[in-house]
């Protein structure tokens, strides 16, 4: 089935996620939160909600848009992800989310599919997401090229912060309980069949959440409400059990440029990354 180029502009119905403190705690555990981050793990202290939880209410709308675009899931790669938080996410509530096929770009061999979601609680916009997906062998359809991303670049100097956070061998099995049940991240046979002979890889969005935790701790001084936007590009696989090293620089306008590395491997796994930090 070929990619439906005419699906640009298509919008989903409203998808509802009713959630409570257990949902946000499960997500925090899924992205590796530890006991020294107890405020995110214990209902007696809220719990506080990690900003990257914004991904969770978007899942059903995004899955519906996969069907709308007729993207071949066997040839689809998650290229990049961003979130924008308009107000703090409460520890319980009822999200209503709508998704849209924002654009489909021609990258010669690949097509880039850009999906966007808006999530509201009681009619107020809480968060937005943008998903950049690459579909192999779906390009060369004569469409527009993707625009150049306007994101801050890492300056040529030592990073202002470096933070190493661990994942466990079971991290992907825990993360998938928040909504991404792709068996690639659980089944060794499926992982091997697509070339990951070392076993199931970590979800890109789990890596996104771990790096988001690093941002909260290192760039927001522990105040998750200061992280108003965050995005980046997935470049290389991460395996459950890898430690993730995030390093970043503060740049003009309350922004951060950053990248992340897995284990002791020299090439970054998450690049072109940026965040917007509100004043304390």
| Active site annotation includes 185 | yes
| Active site annotation includes 201 | yes
The single residue of 139, 179, 204, 231 carrying the catalytic annotation is 204
Q: Are 229 and 83 in contact (CB under 8 A)?
A: yes
The single residue of 85, 89, 201, 277 carrying the catalytic annotation is 201
Spatial separation of the C-alpha atoms in residues 32 and 28, rounded to whole Å = 6
Handedness of CA 205, 207, 209, 212 (dihedral sign): negative
Residue 57 phi/psi, 5-degree rounding, is -70, -10
Spatial separation of the C-alpha atoms in residues 141 and 190, rounded to whole Å = 31
Residues in the chain, total: 280
User: How many CA atoms lie less than 13 Å away from 57 in the CB half-sphere?
Assistant: 32
The single residue of 55, 104, 180, 203 carrying the catalytic annotation is 180
| Active site annotation includes 180 | yes
Q: Is 140 left (phi over 0), alpha (psi -120 to 50) or beta?
A: left
| Residue-wise DSSP of 135-190 | EET---SS-PPPPPP--PPPPSS--SEEEEEE--TTHHHHHGGGS---GGGT-HHH
Find the DSSP H helices in 18-162: 21-30, 59-69
The single residue of 139, 185, 242, 248 carrying the catalytic annotation is 185
The alpha-carbon radius of gyration of the chain (Å, integer) is 18
Interaxial angle between packed helices 204-218 and 21-30, expressed in degrees from 0 to 180 and rounded to the nearest 10: 100
Handedness of CA 203, 275, 157, 147 (dihedral sign): positive
Label the pairing between strands 243-251 and 93-107.
unpaired
Annotated catalytic sites, by residue? 180, 185, 201, 204
């Amino acid at each position: 089935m070929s990619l439906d180029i005419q699906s640009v502009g298509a919008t989903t119905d409203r998808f509802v996620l009713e959630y409570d403190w257990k949902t946000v705690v499960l997500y925090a555990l899924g992205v590796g939160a530890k006991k020294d981050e107890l405020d995110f793990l214990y209902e007696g202290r809220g719990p506080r909600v990690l900003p990257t939880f914004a991904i969770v209410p978007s899942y059903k709308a995004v899955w519906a848009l996969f069907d709308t675009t007729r993207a071949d899931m066997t040839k689809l790669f998650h290229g990049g992800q961003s979130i924008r938080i308009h107000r703090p996410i409460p520890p319980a509530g009822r999200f209503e989310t709508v998704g849209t096929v924002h654009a489909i770009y021609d990258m010669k061999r690949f097509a880039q599919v850009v999906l966007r979601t808006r999530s509201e609680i009681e009619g107020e916009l809480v968060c937005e997401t943008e998903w950049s997906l690459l579909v192999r062998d779906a390009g060369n359809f004569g469409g527009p090229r993707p625009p150049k991303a306007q994101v801050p670049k890492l300056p040529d100097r030592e990073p202002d912060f470096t933070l190493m956070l661990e994942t466990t061998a079971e991290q992907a099995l825990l993360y998938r309980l928040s909504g991404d049940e792709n068996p690639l991240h659980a089944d060794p046979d499926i992982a091997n069949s697509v070339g990951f002979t070392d076993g199931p890889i970590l979800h890109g969005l789990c890596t996104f959440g771990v790096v988001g935790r690093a941002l909260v701790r290192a760039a927001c001084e522990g105040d998750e409400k200061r992280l108003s936007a965050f995005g980046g590009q997935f470049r290389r696989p991460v395996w459950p059990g890898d430690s993730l090293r995030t390093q970043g620089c503060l740049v003009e306008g309350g922004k951060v440029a950053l990248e992340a590395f897995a284990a002791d491997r020299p090439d970054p796994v998450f690049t072109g990354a940026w965040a917007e930090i509100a004043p304390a």
